[in-house]
Each structure stands twice: as C-alpha cells, then as structure tokens.
Amino acid sequence: MGAGHGSGTAHRLYRPGRSPVHALPPHCKLLAVLSFVLVVVSTPRTAVWAFALYAALLAAVAATARIPAAVLLRRLLIEVPFVAFAVLMPFVATGDRVRVLGLSLSEPGLWGAWNVLAKGTLGVAASVVLAATTELRALLLGLQRLRLPPLLVQIASFMIRYGDVVADELRRMRVARASRGFRARGVRQWGVLARTAGTLFIRAYERGERVHLAMVSRGYAGAVPVIDEVTASRAQWGQAVALPLVALVVCAGGWAYAAG
C-alpha cells in the first residue's frame, strides 16, 4: 500500500482514467450514488426484473468508466459474510414452507434472502464504482460540499492520510515479533498482541501530537483552507442525476407491478 508522497492521495482503490464518469464532480457522484441506493432499497422485492434492470444500469456506468468486470467482481467479494447470513434465512424464518431439493424452506425467508442479496450486492457495486472513479481527496471535498461538518472531513482526511502509516507501523511490529520467534497460536499469546495494540495506540497518539504541532507552526488555526474548490455545471448535474432518475422510473414500475 504505498501511501502516496507528494502528489499523493492515489490509493489502491482508485483507478485513474479519463472517462466521463471520472470527470464528474465528486459531490454530484456522491449524491447520485446515495439516491440510487435509496431507490434500490425502497423497491419491492417481488419485482425481480427491476433488480436486473438496476444491475444493467450499474454495468453500463461501469462500462462507461472503463472498469474491468473482473475488478468489479473481485471487489464485490467483500459482502461474502452477508451471503452466508442470507443463506441461513430460509431455514430460520417463519411462514409457509416450500420443499426445495428435499429441504423444507420458509417462503418468506427465501424472499428475505433474495431481498438482502439483491439490494446488498447492488449497494456494494455502486460504492465500488464510486470509489474506483473518484480520488480520495476529491471524495472528501465532495463530502464537505454536501455540508458534512468541516471538522469531520478533516478527521476523515487525517485518517486516510495516516491510515497506511499506522498500518505499516503495525506491520513492522509484526515483522519484529516474528523475527524473534513469536507465533500467535492461541489465547496464551493475547498478552503480547494486546501490548502491540497498546504500543500502536501510543505511537499513533504521539504522531498526532507531532502532526498538530507541525501544523500549528505553519499557521493552522482549526481550519484547512480549500484551494481546489470544485463546482458543477448544469450539464454535469444532468449527467449525474441520470442514473438515479432512470432507477426511479424502474422503481415506480416495480411498485406498479407489485400492486397489480
């Protein structure tokens, strides 16, 4: 994870590119993704075709952004724990039972599992597309433009900036432990690992104090000036809103389908 120096906020999640999706201002993209996910979540689960349309929409956006399908699918793996949970649902839910392959499954449970799987996967995919096409610093600026408190944005940017540094510190401690013959086998080694965590906290806190002093000596008085202010033109807003608008139409269709 080479945390960027100098030109810096390049991250392994971001895939540089020049596509129209990359060029959109970050706050438009954030708002578009958030409203898209909201629309998806409020779609009735019985309208199965609606979710296929949503997936097609996202795939179109990903294709425009030139994100390889393999990358997208690999990053979807983060939701595996929920898949496991969703698989359990048909077994524990109440309601009418149906027999599938000799197993007695709950019908509402099956619908619930489908619901979580479809909506969860779409939500994860939307976030993955957002993170792959937006630089971290831009993402934070976008959050600030969306009226997230500046202090929160500052905290988040410090976390992103020093997250890799602190993680590297942890990695070095692991190497140091391993080179002295330490192997974490069970509960008996918890003491050593806890001392690692304690040391990590002290180092992180002291680094925070040093960073603060360094910033104060450069004139920091509680706010970081924004020098790369981004604004969105009407055309860019139009492009960004296209995704949730189409999704909204699909959602309305889904409700009409579920009602009648």
- Please work out the total of residues on this chain that contact another protein, with binding judged by CB under 8 A: 89
Of residues 230-249, those binding another protein (CB under 8 A): none
Q: Choose which of 5, 185, 218, 234 interacts with another protein (CB under 8 A).
A: 185
What is the number of other CB atoms lying within 10 angstroms of the CB of residue 107?
Answer: 14
Find the part of the chain contacting another protein (CB under 8 A) among 60-68, 120-128, 237-245, 247-255.
120-128
The one-letter amino acid at 230: V
- What is the helix (H) or strand (E) element at residue 31, kind and residue range? helix 26-41
Which residues 6+ apart lie within 8 Å of 45 measured at CB? 111, 114, 115, 118
Q: How far is the CB of 166 from another protein (least distance, A)?
A: 4
74 binds another protein (CB under 8 A): no
156 binds another protein (CB under 8 A): yes
Q: Which two tokens stand for residue 151?
A: 């202090």
Question: For residue 104, what are the β-bridge partners?
Answer: 99
Backbone angles phi, psi at 95, to 5 degrees: 110, -170
The answer to whether the beta carbons of residues 126 and 36 sit under 8 Å apart is yes
45 binds another protein (CB under 8 A): yes
144 binds another protein (CB under 8 A): no
Q: How far is the CB of 53 from another protein (least distance, A)?
A: 16
Q: How far is the CB of 132 from another protein (least distance, A)?
A: 10
